[in-house]
Each structure stands twice: as structure tokens, then as C-alpha cells.
Amino acid sequence: MSALTEFRSKRSAPTPIEATDTVHFSSTRRRLTPAQRKWAEETGFDAKPGGVCLLADANGKLARVLVGVDRQDALGALAALPTTLPAGEYTLDADSVPLDAQLSALGWALGAYQFTRYRKAKRAPATLAVDTATFETLAPLVSATALVRDLVNTPTEDMGPKHLADAVKHLGKVHKAKVHEWVGEELLEANFPTIYTVGRASHRPPRLIELTWGKASHPKLVVVGKGVCFDTGGLDLKPSDGMRWMKKDMGGAAHAIALAGLIMQAKLPVRLTLLIPAVENAVSGNAMRPGEVVVTRGGHSVEIDNTDAEGRLVLCDALAYGAEQKPDLIVDFATLTGAARVALGPDLPALFANDDAIADAALAHGRQVADPMWRLPLWRPYRKMLDSYLADFANAGPSRHAGAITAALYMERFIPDGMPWMHLDTYAWNDGDRPGRPRGGEAMGLRAMFAFLQNRYHA
């Protein structure tokens, strides 16, 4: 949160930032001194989105910053400024064009993020002063987003199954939650066969991590996150370009952990269960083979058609276990399918839900907090694409059609009829640098889901 600070009158006056656009630029110019107007003209500032003009006073000291914005994109309006303005403290001036104050400040904070585990920060970000209410609202969201980014950005050697367990244990310690885990052979003894089967080939044993928090009398909420810490594809080996960024295949777990933290920090009146199946999909002599049949915790026999469709395998045991608690709602996050990216691109997570009202509410909250999702259908006639000749069904099939849908349909089989469930197939990654969205790990759908849960489970 170093990029945001609470505005206090006793502080030295922050440098004002005036957000303007091409429609209001003539009004902005009238407020400038003749010298400042001349400077803005000479430097080519025209108030188009992304343009910045630094204005000095008569003594040559920075006195004001003009920034061109798109009023429809409050989140991105100030997002490039923390790492481009000179170090110091700034504030959004009252003369700015109307912008959502919280979204523009959030964009500033998200744009200040730098991953510094393996190298020093390039520079300290500039700071935006905001009112206390805005600061207190945004601080948890900024920290949760940074947690997702940090977890996803960390290479697998430093972010294996045990490291994910450590992250959950730290969360439990902070919020006085109970944490339990099943590791290696304990998974078989406790009837989590698919988690074990996917992760057994790694030198680092698979595990299921469970965090529980809240009063038993409150509505039960189960949050599940796919924790495949690295995905080689197994014996159906990925090509090198497909394997290059598979450290991010635990992005679903990162989202689930961060969401659990937000829920507990906000003290939402729920009985929370966080489930993180954490594995590496590796290759060795005991790796699962195509054609094997695994009987899942849910009692379904599953033929392994493709060892690279492993995410749904580790999730299905966790979903079945979560459903046994008869919760009010189950939400899962997963970097599950390339098909979702083909359908929606890198910025839009695919939302699947078995309840229209819940889906509509989640989508609406995503729009409100500038964290959009897009719903794809649970088109049940496509279940036949996962037919197996010797098991109840397969984990994948020969058709490349509707890959995100068939993956969701696979997992839906482990949700009892009538139990509300949402599944978010998220990319969790930025392929390149953009204002507020630095290259690397990214939280996508986190704020949307938290806003939805805040509304559903308000005190």
C-alpha cells in the first residue's frame, strides 16, 4: 500500500493532478498561467488518454500535473502515473473531470506494483493521497491483488505444494483459522485418489490443504483453488512453448487464498472452508498413464484420456469433499483451459454457474468494480464428448470443440443437484505491460467475487 496514503491536512500539500479530456480541455487551459498554457502547447499535450504534462510554477518547481483520461475507464485513468511521475506525493484535484474516486485510486495502486523477490525495485513509486474511507476500502483489495501476483510470479522451485500450504498456514495464523492438510499417502487413506494420482510422480508430494474459519451457525461457503504448481502435461507432454509459463498453473489457488483472506479480514458472517489441492503434474516412472481408470472421491470412475487435463482431476476430489459439507455456495477458481482463452481472450475470465440468479449477480458486481467476467454455458448435451467405453466418463475426449465447457461439465458432475456452484476459468496472467496491469501474474475475477460475496453475506 506504499503507493496510497491517507490525506491529512498536517502533511505538506501534495502536488495536484488534474484529470482532463478532449471535451473539457478548454476549461483546463483557462485555469493555467500563460506560461503553463504555452508549455502544454509546446509539449503537444492534447488531453487524449495517456497524455501527461508536468507544469512548473514561477520558481521552476513542479506545481501541477495534467493527465488525459478516458472517463469510461476510471481504473486505467491514473494507473501509469506511479512509475512515471517524479517521486513524491500527489492528489487528484477537485477541478478534474468526474472520475470514480475509488476506481481511479485503485488503478494507481495496481499500477505501482513491482515484483521484487529476485531483484530490487526499479524505483519507488509516486504516492497518491486519498481520504481515509477510500484508503480503508482499497487497502485490503490492493494487498489481495499483490498476493495473487506474488504467488503466481514466483517460480515453482520456490512455490511448490508445500509453499502453497505455507501461504495458507500464514493466512490461518493471521486470522486465527484452523488449517489441516493431507500429504502424500495420507491422501489415499483419506479418499482423495485423483489428487494423489495427478501428483504422485513428483519428488514433492501432493497435498490437500484445508482452512476453516467462522462460526458454525453461519452459512457455509466453500472456496476451492486449483494448485497445480507446475504442469508438464504429464506423459501427454506439453511442447516447450506450452510449458514455459506453467508456473502460473496454480493461479486458481492464488485467487482462492487471496479471496479467503478478504473474507476473513472483512469478517463476513460465513463458515468458510478453503480447499487447495496442491500438486505438480510431473513425469517419472510412476506417472499416471493415458487409459488408466481412477475411482474418484465422488464415486465416479474416470478414464484418463489425457494426462494434461489434470486440473479438473485435482479439483473434482476437492469439490466432492466440499459438497459433503452441504454448503450454501461453492466457488472455485482455476487456470483450467486454453479453450477459455481462445473464446474470450486473456482479459475475460469465463464464468460457469448452475444458478442463473447467482451468475447474474456475480457478473453485475464484476461490472461495478471494473473486474469483468463473461458467462459461458453449461451446455449439458456436450457431456457426451466425455463418454468412456469402460468408465463412467473420461477426463477429456477426442474433440477440441467447447473445451472450456466440457471441462466445466466434468466438474459439475461432482456438485449435487440443487447446490449453488460457480466456476471461474481465469488466465491469471498479463502477457505484456499495460497501465495498472504489469506483465506477469494477475488477479482476474477476485474483486468481482469478493463484491458479490459481500453483498450476499452482509452482516
Q: Are 143 and 109 in contact (CB under 8 A)?
A: no
Catalytic residue (one of 238, 375, 383, 434) = 238
CA nearest 360: which of 428, 425, 452, 280?
452
Angle formed by the axes of helices 251-265 and 132-153, nearest 10° = 150
Which are the contacts of 174, defined by CB distance < 8 A and separation ≥ 6? 261, 264
| Ramachandran class of 436: left when φ > 0, alpha when ψ lies in -120 to 50, beta otherwise | left
How many whole angstroms separate alpha carbon 307 and alpha carbon 289?
7
Catalytic residue (one of 204, 312, 341, 447) = 312
Q: Are 108 and 128 in contact (CB under 8 A)?
A: yes
Q: 426 — phi, psi (to 5°)? A: -115, 150
Reply yes or no on whether 10 is catalytic: no
Sheet holding 293-295, edge to edge: 293-295, 301-303, 393-394
Reply yes or no on whether 238 is catalytic: yes
Q: Which residues are catalytic?
A: 238, 312
